[in-house]
Amino acid sequence: MAKLGSNRYGKHRVRLSRITRHEDRHDFNEWSVNVLLEGDFETSFTEADNSKVLPTDTMKNTVYYVARGSKARTIEEFAMELGDYLLANNAQVSGVKVEIKERAWERMLLDGTAEATTFKLCGPEVHTVRAVRDKGREWSIRSGVDGLTILKTTKSAFTGYIKDKLTTLKPATDRIFGTCAKVTWDYALPTQEFAKVRARIVAALLKEFAGHDSLSVQHTLFDMGKAALDAAPEIERIKLTMPNLHHLLADLSPFGLDNPNHIFVPIDEPHGYIEATVER
């Protein structure tokens, strides 16, 4: 006999651009919003009864409706505002998860001055949030950045590893270290300063990566995590996923040339894959 297990449903990739117009400038945001609901939906699966189902098209419209009146400055604030609306207006919903990705638009600089209404897409990283709440409980907020693409041309080595009959990798004492990192962090303390915390964390990650004398991706990942915790007492843990995007030394010997760590072939498949959570 079959029975329904855990279930949820929602709307994904609701795209939204927002202009906030001030007297002296415009602010611009571009978001992609995912919504998932949990609740009293069993009969929609087992009895084809849709009487408690909020259409996903209505969820899409709800994103735009809430955004129209929202004063949220950050994706964290908007995620909670949207989730609170859905919980308050749907008795059959017991829990909500809202995920948002924000593209990194920044104000354009013209002759060193920030332009009031013109923007440049930076990145390719996006800002992220996952906000989860059950009725009667507080919000759980996990913020992050995805696609943080960084590279250093020195201060990176890899030696002292296991060597067996299948090992062909040669030790490296001065190699390129490139990654496209995904980083998420969980808040321990209530805050409304999400943008300031994010800025401190990202700055700490980049500073540590640049200055770190890396003996492995694992070594650098852990010290980057420690630096982020030091920079942001508001968070209790941070998770870093750092693929090792290889740049392989090109063999120029067939052309009668040496290659003193000068010419490389970038590859993205296959690549090393390292992730860890650093906690207090």
Q: Which amino acid is at 177?
A: F
- Domain coordinates of the chain in residue numbers? 9-138, 148-279
**Residue range 16-48, pLDDT digits in tens:** 999 999 999 999 999 999 999 999 999 999 999
246 among known catalytic residues: yes
Catalytic residue among 43, 56, 191, 241: 56
Q: What is the pLDDT of residue 4?
A: 95
**Residue 265 in this model has a pLDDT that exceeds 90:** yes
**Residue range 65-116, pLDDT digits in tens:** 999 999 999 999 999 999 999 999 999 999 999 999 999 999 999 999 999 9
In a 13 Å sphere around the CA of 227, the CA atoms on its Cβ side amount to 20
Give the helix/strand (H/E) hosting 180. Answer: strand 177-187
**Residue 190 in this model has a pLDDT that exceeds 80:** no
Q: What is the pLDDT of residue 219?
A: 98
For 4, 76, 124, 173, the CA distances from 231, given in Å and listed in that order, are: 45, 19, 24, 30
pTM higher than 0.85 for the full model? yes
Q: What is the CATH number of domain 9-138?
A: 3.10.270.10
The CA distance from 88 to 75, in Å, is 20
11 among known catalytic residues: yes
Q: Under CATH, domain 148-279 is a member of which superfamily?
A: Urate Oxidase; (3.10.270.10)
The CA distance from 93 to 101, in Å, is 24
Q: What is the pLDDT of residue 207?
A: 98
| Same fold yes or no, 9-138 and 148-279 | yes
**Residue range 112-169, pLDDT digits in tens:** 999 999 999 998 999 999 999 999 999 999 999 999 999 999 999 999 999 999 999 9
**Residue range 233-250, pLDDT digits in tens:** 999 999 999 999 999 999
